[in-house]
Amino acid sequence: MPTDLLDELQLIQSDSTEIEERFYKDLEFGTGGMRGIIGAGTNRLNIYTVRRAAQGFAHYLSKKGETATQKGVAIAYDSRKYSREFACEMATLLAHTGIKVYLFPDIAPTPLLSFAIRHLQASAGLVLTASHNPPEYNGIKVYNQDGGQITEEDAQSIYAEIQAIGDPLILPAIAWSTDSADERIISIGNEVVEAYCQQVELLLHQRALIEENGDSLSIVYTPLHGTGVKVIPDLLKRVGFTRVQIVEEQATADPRFPTVKAPNPEEPEAFELALQLASEKQADLIMATDPDADRLGVLVKTGTKYEMVNGNQLGAMLLYYLLGQSAVKGRTIQNGLVLKTIVTSDLGEKIAESYGVETLQTLTGFKYIGEKIEECCSLGSRTFVFGYEESYGYLAGDFVRDKDAVQITVLVAEMALYYQQRGKDLFQVLEEIYSKFGYYREKLHSLTVAGKEGREQMEESIANLRKNPPEQIAGYAVSVVEDYELQIKKVMGTGQVEPLFFPKANVIKIILADGSWITVRPSGTEPKMKVYLSTNSPYNKEQAEEKMLLLQGALPDLIRFS
Ligand SMILES: O=P(O)(O)OC[C@H]1O[C@H](O)[C@H](O)[C@@H](O)[C@@H]1O
């Protein structure tokens, strides 16, 4: 047994609570794969639980047939503690089971793994990462052959295989060495990264403008100690953005994430060092990617200060820019398709509609967006335009099937430069969008659910809402209640009930007559109940904000939860 695990076990020998916590269950394996605290225990991520997951995954893949094992599995890892060790453990075990493995030789962004699966025509992919979680966490994300994250059915099959193995201590330890694993472990070469970068370049609309004026946009970028540093700075420079400053203190891949509370670009605190550098350099734009570089946070200089753009706002701006660029070039998008989740603002849909492009909604989670792209666009019947979620995940080029902060970083830089050349910063562009399509405001309330009791309270509170949906909220009439668990939508005025064509999920969306809404769901990744609010006004932001305050004020009555 590795000495660190032994030491840990010795330390907790007489601590029954700690023993219980670590051993009372196996780490769960869901649609997001497996995520947990690193350490000793069945409910922890360690070499044994990883080995067991690898063996279960190997069984699952083998059952798909010889083609699946021959096509192989692409594996990537981020900068977290043990990410590389766990990736090598999984690679070795899969190779010894007779499965071909493609392994990145160094840390790599998650979107690059999604691309590599498609490029190498592998049958699946794995990434060792815990995304933006705190340093004590790690995890395994699982991808299908399309390059999208697996959905429910596959997750259940893999979990069943993992559970069937039983005690992970019975699995043999296979020493890591490329020799022992023979030629079945192939190192992913730089040509894959190059092929990816070329695809990203093809997404750009303003190459000439960037080549000529790229140096007028000053950018500060931070990878927050993660994988983005491997690709993003070079890519920005290569396309012509020459004034890119990296936050040096955060440019090293450090599993402790020592300079931030959490490496999460949704949190304003994560931008502290980047802000200092930006003020010093008078930067126009600050961009931060999370450790596996699938999500992007942006701060924009507007007047004399920097303001954070939220996920709904950046998604709407990118869509407005991309559709606008196609229109300017006279390109008609045949059967275009925009994808967003049901908890993402409707502003994007309004923008798409004005360009004759349809928007489809999915449940929360980019895996559903990836799945829809495959379903609707892979045979060329529809043209994928853009997909996004409020939680800072965006995708413009479907050569990747998960959110991709690498391609979006380059596109945001292009968009900022394009508007800068027209005398506007991105917040002025946002004002332009609001004045055309309506003023939208969004808020997310996350309520922490402590332990089993908390979970029960949350379930009860959602069940109550399901049983007794309100007819009005803060004086506004409710027009529709969508219940994704019962898969029905009820029109309040007429009482008419229609089916909802989504997979089952414990989500309730209450829509007011003016299109404002409140949506409630349990988080799938953290012990939290999430309440999303969206308001709008066709006239001005004050009215949208006032509605937001009223809806927020009504929440305690609507969602009884202590
Ligand atoms: O279920 P939640 O905690 O709200 O998390 C939802 C998020 O989960 C993962 O991170 C997925 O990759 C995201 O696409 C999704 O938005």
CA angle 136, 109, 199 (to 5 degrees): 165
pLDDT tens digits, one per residue of 39-80: 989 889 999 999 999 999 999 999 999 999 999 999 999 999
Note the ipTM here. Answer: 0.96
pLDDT tens digits, one per residue of 442-464: 999 999 887 778 888 999 999 99
Among 471, 468, 499, 470, residue whose Cα is nearest residue 486: 499
Q: Which residues pair with 128 in a beta bridge?
A: 77, 140
Question: Do 425 and 447 fall within a single domain?
Answer: no
Q: Which of 559 and 108 is assigned the larger pLDDT? A: 108
Ligand 1 close to Cβ of residue 389 (< 6 A)? yes
The pTM of this model reads: 0.95
Ligand 1 close to Cβ of residue 532 (< 6 A)? no
**129 CA distance to ligand 1 middle (Å):** 14
pLDDT tens digits, one per residue of 86-99: 999 999 999 999 99
Question: Do 213 and 344 fall within a single domain?
Answer: yes
Two tokens, residue 297: 């946070």
Among 143, 366, 521, 530, the mutation site with the greatest number of ligand 1 atoms within 8 A of its Cβ is: 366
Question: Do 209 and 310 fall within a single domain?
Answer: yes
CA angle 32, 37, 39 (to 5 degrees): 135
Number of domains in the chain: 3
Ligand 1 close to Cβ of residue 523 (< 6 A)? yes
Q: Report phi then psi at 77, rounded to 5.
A: -150, 155
Two tokens, residue 322: 């991309």
Question: Do 181 and 264 fall within a single domain?
Answer: no
Is 255 in a helix, a strand, or coil?
coil
Q: How far apart are CA 236 and CA 228, in angstroms?
A: 12
Question: Do 76 and 95 fall within a single domain?
Answer: yes
- Is 151 in contact with 371 (CB distance < 8 Å)? yes
- Is 530 in contact with 520 (CB distance < 8 Å)? yes
Ligand 1 close to Cβ of residue 446 (< 6 A)? no
Q: How far apart are CA 83 and CA 174, in angstroms?
A: 17
Owning domain of residue 181: 3-188
Question: Do 348 and 303 fall within a single domain?
Answer: yes
User: Going by CA atoms, what residue is nearest to atom 7 of ligand 1?
Assistant: 365
Average pLDDT of the chain is 94
What b-and-e string marks burial along 119-157, b requiring 16 or more CB atoms within 10 Å of the CB?
Answer: bbebbbbbbbbbbbbebbbbbbbbbbbbbbbbbeebbeb
**524 CA distance to ligand 1 middle (Å):** 7
Choosing from 173, 188, 203, the residue where a domain stops is 188
Ligand 1 close to Cβ of residue 340 (< 6 A)? no
pLDDT number for residue 181: 52
Q: Express as a percent the part of the chain with pLDDT over 70.
A: 98
Choosing from 144, 160, 188, the residue where a domain stops is 188
Q: Which of 209 and 449 is assigned the larger pLDDT? A: 209
Q: How sure is the predictor about 162, in pLDDT bands with cuts at 50, 70 and 90?
A: very high
pLDDT number for residue 183: 77
Two tokens, residue 237: 């420079």
User: Going by CA atoms, what residue is nearest to atom 13 of ligand 1?
Assistant: 365
Q: Which residue has the tokens 């305050």?
A: 549
Question: Do 425 and 446 fall within a single domain?
Answer: no
**31 CA distance to ligand 1 middle (Å):** 10
Tally Cβ neighbours within 10 Å of residue 503. 13
**525 CA distance to ligand 1 middle (Å):** 6
Question: Do 112 and 253 fall within a single domain?
Answer: no
Residue tagged active-site, from 79, 114, 131, 537? 131
**260 CA distance to ligand 1 middle (Å):** 21
Question: Do 123 and 223 fall within a single domain?
Answer: no
| In the predicted structure, residue 4 carries a pLDDT above the cut 90 | no
User: Going by CA atoms, what residue is nearest to atom 9 of ligand 1?
Assistant: 365
Question: Do 53 and 120 fall within a single domain?
Answer: yes
User: What is the DSSP track for 180-241?
Assistant: TTGGGEEEPPHHHHHHHHHHHHHT-S-HHHHHHHGGGS-EEEE-TTSGGGGTHHHHHHHHT-
Answer yes or no: 378 catalytic.
Answer: no
- Is 182 in contact with 174 (CB distance < 8 Å)? no
CA angle 361, 365, 370 (to 5 degrees): 70
Among 66, 70, 142, residue whose Cα is nearest residue 102: 70
- Give, in order, the Cα–Cα distances in Å from 408 to each of 204, 314, 387, 393, 397: 10, 10, 11, 9, 9
- The CATH number of whichever domain residue 551 belongs to comes to 3.30.310.50
pLDDT tens digits, one per residue of 347-366: 999 999 999 999 999 999 99
Among 190, 417, 192, 394, residue whose Cα is nearest residue 311: 394
Q: How far apart are CA 86 and CA 287, in angstroms?
A: 30
Ligand 1 close to Cβ of residue 151 (< 6 A)? no
Ligand 1 close to Cβ of residue 370 (< 6 A)? no
Q: How far apart are CA 502 and CA 247, in angstroms?
A: 42
pLDDT tens digits, one per residue of 460-505: 999 999 999 999 999 999 999 999 999 999 999 899 999 999 999 9
User: What is the DSSP track for 87-136?
Assistant: HHHHHHHHHHTT--EEE-SS---HHHHHHHHHHTT-SEEEEE--TTS-TT
Question: Do 160 and 140 fall within a single domain?
Answer: yes
Ligand 1 close to Cβ of residue 368 (< 6 A)? no
Average pLDDT on 115-141 reads: 95
Is 145 in a helix, a strand, or coil?
coil
Choosing from 188, 221, 256, the residue where a domain stops is 188
Question: Do 475 and 492 fall within a single domain?
Answer: yes
Q: Which ligand 1 atom is at minimum distance from the Cα of 528?
A: 3
- Give, in order, the Cα–Cα distances in Å from 137 to each of 44, 130, 239: 9, 6, 35
- The CATH number of whichever domain residue 416 belongs to comes to 3.40.120.10
Ligand 1 close to Cβ of residue 402 (< 6 A)? no
